[in-house]
Chain A
């Protein structure tokens, strides 16, 4: 069964609103989680690394004020897309390593498809 759960799977919102996506590790604790973005027919691009109890680390070119990340507990990380615009429409997917961050097997959530009208 799934070891990382992501919610919601689909979300449609109006331009200017904010959307929160949750990522939970179900049967293990994760001090670190990763958020990826995938455009149609492309590979996954890392957006940011979520760290429990500290600030997230963002990849170059990713606006930290637009994509707010909160790692509230050892099993939950949230991504909030603030003031969403149509260009933010994409497939967002989280992952968590089971075991050591550098060498542990990574498991992915089901993904969240965001459409901004």
Chain B
């Protein structure tokens, strides 16, 4: 199946700092999404971004499909940004080509 690698696995930021999270994937994709899992376990949709660039407030994301990576930018981080950020993809073809495959996540801790 498709491999999804996220980096870094852990990140500690001072409140107000900026950060970039990376997601590499091993095959072409139909779908790529970024999620934030809050402390209660709920997955919050951040971006649906199989290609291109999108922005939503302090967050933005870029996917370069031809080079098989996506980046999530967090600017002016706040303590409420803490949690685990997941990248997930749907493979373009072949086995499992309708399943959302998750990376292992980046655990972000924003300290005051």
Chain A contacts to B: CB under 8 angstroms: 32, 34, 38, 42-46, 49, 91, 93, 95, 101-108, 110-111, 113
B103 within 8 A of A: yes
Nearest Cβ in chain B — how far from A10, in angstroms?
Answer: 10
Size of B's binding interface in residues, CB under 8 A: 23
Which residue from chain B places its CB closest to the CB of A59 in the assembled complex?
B99
Of listed B41, B43, B50, B86, residue having the most chain A CB within 10 A: B43
Asked if A46 contacts B99 (CB within 8 A), the reply is yes
Which residue from chain A places its CB closest to the CB of B101 in the assembled complex?
A46
Q: Which of B42, B45, B86 contacts A43 (CB 8 A)?
A: B86
Interface string of B15-47 (1 = CB under 8 A from A): 000000000000000110101000011110100
Nearest Cβ in chain A — how far from B46, in angstroms?
Answer: 11
- The residues of B that contact A49 with a CB separation of less than 8 Å are 98-99
B2 within 8 A of A: no
Q: Which of B41, B45, B88 contacts A111 (CB 8 A)?
A: B41
- The residues of A that contact B41 with a CB separation of less than 8 Å are 38, 91, 93, 110-111, 113
Asked if B43 contacts A101 (CB within 8 A), the reply is no
Nearest Cβ in chain B — how far from A90, in angstroms?
Answer: 11
Asked if B31 contacts A105 (CB within 8 A), the reply is yes
Query: Provided the pairs A43-B86, A108-B42 are in contact, do residues A102 and B98 lie with their beta carbons within 8 angstroms?
Result: yes
Query: 8 shortest A-B CB distances, which residue pairs?
Result: A108-B43, A105-B48, A103-B30, A111-B41, A43-B102, A44-B102, A43-B104, A101-B98
